[in-house]
Amino acid sequence: MDQLVSVQDFEEAALKNLTKNAADYYKSGATSEQSLAENKTAFSRLRIRPKCLVDVSKFDTSTTVLGTKVRSPFGISPTAMQRMAHYDGEVATARAAGVYGTVFILSTIATSSIEEVAEAAPDTIKWFQLYIYIDRNVTRNLVERAERSGFKAIVLTVDTPFFGLRRADVRNKFSLPPHLKLANFDGMLSNKICNAKSGSGLNEYVKNLFDDKLTWDDVKWLKSITRLPVVVKGILRGDDAKKAVDCGVSAIIVSNHGARQLDGVPATIEALPEIVEATKGSDVEVYMDGGITQGTDVFKAISLGAKMVFCGRAALWGLANGGQQGVEKVLGIIKTEFEFAMALSGCSNLSQVTPDMVVHQSRYCKL
């Protein structure tokens, strides 16, 4: 790993290490993958405007999310089936997040259970990502287990009445390797994805399981069955953000699901300012994920109003290159790059990373 000095280095190495089934699953986006590319390239259209001769000798990157202090404003997004990348899977990723004092979000369709992660990473700040199943008893059980296991928030994904079309998974007839299972379930719910007959096994799995009739009333229902703060993930419109505020959620994650749902949607960094504006005057915190590959991306997102930034694939690339140690190194790379971006921009704490620090490239003349 000594030769891997950027997230891109880790990605390139991971794609060589992983099986084609796993590599294509982790890296792919919806249909033509336009939005997948835009999630990254949209950051390159933003310019940082550094301030000079600012005292940055005392430095603080900490912030508070949902009342809990974190050491840096970036955490780990929920990504499914991490034991395809490394045998320790989500356990390793959660432990790495704990080392860096940040948030780890566990996916519903993880290959390590709620209880396994809680036992292995007791000191990590853990949130649980939730899909609402047609069988509400399944959903309620997941929420209750997360509460009992010390998770601090429920992250409801709201952009998945069903999963998007991912051509690589269709070509590969994606299935979870038979030695693995969806660890939060028993029986058919744990191994149905291992037996794809045609097309994507993931799409087959969610068919007739995920509730495609969800409305904002179901967000209120979720709030009624848990004492934990509810975060909604997958918002790209200001009017939806206002509905989320009206439902009493604690936070919003601006996300396009890693560009894996609907192609042609905006990059999340493009959608972020609209959501920040729509939530002004409320106590709802705004986070974002999508396309984060370096510390300057984190800086730009914080400048445009995100209180916290999450990355998913970057952690997977670390996981595939050494388990917990690999994830730690990826987080360390992003942390160092972010600290350099702050200091060289004349910011010694997050309150100084203000909207005037970043502008669109169109502000400058073309040379």
CB 270 within 8 A of CB 305: no
Q: Which of 86, 179, 257, 360 is catalytic?
A: 257
CB under 8 A, 24+ apart: contacts of 348-351? 348/54, 348/55, 348/56, 348/57, 348/58, 348/59, 348/60, 349/59, 349/60, 349/61, 350/60, 350/61, 350/62, 350/63, 350/73, 350/302
Give whole-number Cα distances, 256 to 163, 191, 250, 270, in Å. Answer: 12, 27, 19, 11
Tell me, rounded to whole angstroms, the distance of Cα 299 from its chain centroid: 17
d(CA 232, CA 156): 5
Residue 6: Cβ within 10 Å count: 14
CB 80 within 8 A of CB 89: no
6, amino acid identity? S
The length of the chain in residues reads: 367
Determine whether 360 is an active site residue.
no
Give whole-number Cα distances, 338 to 51, 112, 133, 282, 350, in Å. Answer: 16, 30, 38, 28, 11
- Residue 192 is classified by DSSP as G
Active-site amino acid positions: 257
